């Protein structure tokens, strides 16, 4: 009797879990299915399979949405800013964590406040204009690097503390200068944390939409998010094309998620346990 009751509860729980997962998956099924339909079929917004799979939707979306250029832009922005971020943030985190003077503690808190503070976009535009960084790819890359200083330094600071100081001392005795010590000894040991920070920074930039909205006017410089948004405005009723566009935009992030799920989750939940 008790065993039977347990089994019923188990099945009930399984059922609830599947319903919940279903609610999350359903919208994605809608997107994928409808991306293969004709315009009139997609307008019905139902869950039936397309009568005929129209692969051309994808090539039309790529062409009309100028997705090749924007894919290149997104890749350029996310890869460059991620590379800059992990280098400058790990350097800063290294010294801030190793040399805990009063002044450095202040600098550290000053930097991590940026995780919470909002950006003042209007004034930012003015500054970018003065520096000739508005409507420039370099400007976007530097801006993304700046926006990621707080979070990157925060995660890496915690990780530097787990690397034994004796290694630094051994390196110095072997005659390494600070650059060699950092890049040859410490940097490689930071790898797990660097991977986490790199993945999160990459995805954050790939998904971002607000910065290009403010600082990029020329469509030739738009990343995928802004291109998709514009495409959505232009072809409001052609859901099949919009969905094809969405699938293509999500694909890189999806692949990155599959490859680095563990690191991504550990980075996003950093601090949930202790310290």
Q: What is the DSSP string of the chain?
A: -HHHHHHHHHHHHHHHHHHHHHHHHHHHHHHHHHTTS-HHHHHT--SSPPSS--THHHHHHHHHTTHHHHHHHHHHHHHHHHHHHHHHHHHHHHHHHHS--HHHHHHHHHHHGGGTSPP-HHHHHHHHHHTT-TT-HHHHHHHHHHHTHHHHHHHHHHHHTTS-HHHHHHHHHTT--HHHIIIIIIHHHTHHHHHHHHHHHHHHHHH--HHHHHH---GGG--HHHHHHHHHHHTTT-HHHHHHHHHHHHHHHHHHHHHHHHHHHHHHTTTSS--
Give yes or no for residue 248 binding other proteins (CB under 8 A).
no
For the CB of residue 172, give the shortest distance to other proteins in the complex, in Å: 6
Give yes or no for residue 86 binding other proteins (CB under 8 A).
no
For the CB of residue 124, give the shortest distance to other proteins in the complex, in Å: 4
For the CB of residue 250, give the shortest distance to other proteins in the complex, in Å: 6
Stretch that binds other proteins, among 55-63, 64-72, 176-184, 188-196 (CB under 8 A): 176-184
Give yes or no for residue 230 binding other proteins (CB under 8 A).
no
- 69, 119, 135, 136: which one contacts other proteins (CB under 8 A)? 119
- 190, 198, 239, 241: which one contacts other proteins (CB under 8 A)? 239
- 99, 102, 166, 175: which one contacts other proteins (CB under 8 A)? 99
Stretch that binds other proteins, among 54-62, 64-72, 84-92, 188-196 (CB under 8 A): 84-92
**CB-wise, 94 or 221, nearer to other proteins?**
94
**CB-wise, 75 or 232, nearer to other proteins?**
232
Report the site for other proteins in 22-81 (rule: CB under 8 A). Answer: 23-28, 30-31, 43-47
For the CB of residue 53, give the shortest distance to other proteins in the complex, in Å: 20
- 54, 78, 168, 244: which one contacts other proteins (CB under 8 A)? 168
């Amino acid at each position: 009797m008790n065993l039977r009751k347990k089994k019923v509860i188990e099945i009930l729980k399984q059922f609830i879990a599947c319903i919940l997962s279903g609610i999350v998956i359903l919208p994605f099924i809608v997107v994928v299915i409808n991306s293969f339909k004709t315009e009139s079929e997609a307008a019905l917004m139902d869950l039936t399979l397309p009568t005929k799979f129209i692969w051309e939707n994808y090539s039309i979306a790529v062409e009309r949405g100028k997705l090749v250029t924007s894919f290149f832009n997104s890749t350029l922005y996310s890869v460059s800013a991620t590379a800059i971020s992990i280098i400058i943030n790990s350097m800063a985190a290294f010294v801030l964590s190793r040399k805990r003077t009063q002044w450095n503690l202040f600098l550290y808190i000053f930097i991590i406040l940026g995780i919470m503070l909002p950006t003042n976009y209007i004034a930012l535009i003015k500054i970018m204009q003065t520096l000739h960084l508005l409507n420039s790819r370099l400007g976007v890359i530097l801006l993304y690097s700046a926006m990621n200083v707080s979070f990157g330094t925060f995660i890496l600071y915690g990780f530097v503390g787990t690397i034994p100081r004796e290694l630094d001392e051994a390196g110095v005795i072997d005659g390494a200068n600070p650059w060699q010590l950092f890049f040859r000894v410490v940097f490689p040991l930071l790898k797990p944390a660097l991977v986490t920070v790199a993945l999160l920074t990459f995805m954050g930039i790939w998904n971002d939409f607000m910065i290009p909205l403010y600082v990029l006017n020329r469509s030739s410089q738009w990343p995928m998010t802004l291109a998709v948004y514009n495409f959505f405005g232009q072809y409001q009723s052609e859901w099949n094309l919009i969905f094809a566009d969405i699938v293509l935009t999500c694909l890189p992030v999806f692949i990155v998620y599959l490859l680095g799920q563990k690191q991504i989750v550990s980075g996003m939940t950093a601090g949930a346990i202790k310290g």
